[in-house]
Amino acid sequence: AQKITQTQPGMFVQEKEAVTLDCTYDTSDQSYGLFWYKQPSSGEMIFLIYQGSYDEQNATEGRYSLNFQKARKSANLVISASQLGDSAMYFCAMREVYYAGNNRKLIWGLGTSLAVNP
Amino acid sequence: DVKVTQSSRYLVKRTGEKVFLECVQDMDHENMFWYRQDPGLGLRLIYFSYDVKMKEKGDIPEGYSVSREKKERFSLILESASTNQTSMYLCASSLIVGPGSPLHFGNGTRLTVT
């Protein structure tokens, strides 16, 4: 069964430093997509970055990059130069392209709470 | 930018009441979703819709129904609210369902059933 594991319930980082949030996934499919979302205390889920299973390059979006290691089934989010506004919950999610006829479903991890210290 | 608007940020209802949670998106997205989010359980899909009047059950549809009469609006209905439906409810939409199409979320509705 598909599964997303985020092993770090909480993380702390000093402002301006880089931080890596871990995500491992389990799937038997060869074609899938991986997402990271940010959820500040206000509640809105904000899409950050996407990596396709066939993408050869690691995805990057501004200060966010995704360290994709397909053989290890890991898709870690790297935030460079942390800012106070990065304090939030971060969720990793996966979508398999062909899953039991229901290809619209995202599988979610339980999230990592990141606190950025000044 | 995509705008997904949920009608209420906070809602308090009594057990047994019929509750409507409304969600509107302004980007002509075909797909819309309702999730609930609970501490330790993450996001769980209640229902989704890929077209007007079309709907499919998610992982936890029991106790809920949905309505999509217009493309931009997706309503979640709690037929008879119960205390175990106290939760954060998140609506989302997406343009297409390919592997890379992200979901765009509203701000959420925190529902308390007393």
What are A61-95's pLDDT values in tens digits?
999 999 999 999 999 999 999 999 999 999 999 98
Closest B-chain CA to A101 = B56
The percent of residues above 70 in pLDDT, for chain A, comes to: 93
CA dihedral B25, B27, B28, B29 (to 10 degrees): -70
**Residue B90 backbone phi and psi in degrees, to 5:** -120, 130
Selection from A25-39, B13-27, B51-65 with the highest mean pLDDT: B13-27
**Res. B97: pLDDT tops 70:** no
**Best mutation site among A51, A55, A98, A104 for testing chain B: the one with the most B CBs within 10 Å?**
A104
Query: What is the Cα B14 distance to its own chain's centre?
Result: 20
Contacts of A39 (CB under 8 A, 6+ apart): A45, A46, A88, A89, A90, A91, A111
**Best mutation site among A31, A32, A36, A45 for testing chain B: the one with the most B CBs within 10 Å?**
A45
The predicted pLDDT at position A2 comes to 79
